[in-house]
């Protein structure tokens, strides 16, 4: 695994750069936003993720730790390939990506795929904000409701409702 690489950028096109490290040229794919920040001849460090494919090896690079972390989360979503995940990771965080998708500011990715991504990351964003061991959530999921739907219902309840039984009852009204 190549977790990061530091070297001099010797070539650049509209999808990737070539970075020279100790006389070896590494081809690194970057998202459009990061490509605009790179200049030929400068020394840079990239966080990287290596992918083995039938046709070869691809190395994806990111300027920040947050971008590569988002990239890895997006890659977990079924149907999202590394190139789509790379472009979407330029948002920097799940919350920002959610905002961009909802505002219709993401281009180059189909509407159905964006809807699927939005559904997946909405659940992930709320998982981060919801305390672990939420008994109301566990109860709703055990009743057969999808986790994302149960999270949506529970998160829309007034803060004053704190008893587990009341939270379940009110969430059921919304589901």
For residues 91 and 23, what is the distance between their CA atoms, to the nearest angstrom?
Answer: 33
Read off the tokens for 155. 């998160």
Residue entry with tokens 């109301």: 136
What proportion of the chain, given as a percentage, has pLDDT over 70? 94
Please compute the mean of the pLDDT values over residues 107-130 and round it to a whole number. Answer: 68
pLDDT at 133: 45
Given a cut of 60, whether residue 132 has pLDDT beyond it is no
Distance set, CA 114 to CA 30, 34, 101, 106, 144 (Å): 20, 21, 7, 8, 25
Kind plus residue range of the DSSP H or E element containing 40:
none
Whether 72 and 23 share a structural domain: no
Number of domains forming the structure of the chain: 3
Whether 135 and 103 share a structural domain: no
Whether 49 and 106 share a structural domain: no
Please compute the mean of the pLDDT values over residues 87-105 and round it to a whole number. Answer: 84
Given a cut of 50, whether residue 126 has pLDDT beyond it is no
Whether 59 and 72 share a structural domain: no
What is the model's pTM?
0.65
For residues 56 and 102, what is the distance between their CA atoms, to the nearest angstrom?
Answer: 35
Q: How confident is the model at residue 154 (pLDDT cuts 50, 70, 90)?
A: confident
């Amino acid at each position: 695994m190549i977790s990061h690489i530091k070297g001099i950028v010797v070539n650049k096109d509209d999808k990737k750069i070539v970075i020279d490290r100790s006389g070896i040229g590494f081809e690194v794919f970057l998202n459009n936003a990061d490509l605009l920040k790179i200049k030929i001849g400068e020394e840079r460090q990239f966080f990287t993720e290596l992918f083995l494919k039938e046709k070869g090896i691809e190395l994806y690079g990111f300027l920040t730790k947050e971008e590569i972390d988002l990239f890895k989360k997006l890659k977990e979503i079924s149907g999202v390939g590394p190139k789509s995940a790379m472009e979407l990771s330029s948002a920097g965080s799940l919350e920002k990506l959610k905002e961009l998708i909802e505002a219709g500011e993401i281009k180059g990715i189909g509407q159905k795929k964006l809807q699927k991504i939005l559904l997946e990351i909405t659940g992930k964003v709320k998982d981060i904000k919801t305390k672990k061991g939420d008994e109301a959530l566990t109860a709703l999921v055990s009743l057969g409701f999808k986790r994302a739907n149960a999270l949506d219902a529970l998160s829309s309840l007034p803060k004053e409702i704190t008893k587990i039984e009341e939270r379940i009852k009110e969430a059921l009204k919304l589901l």
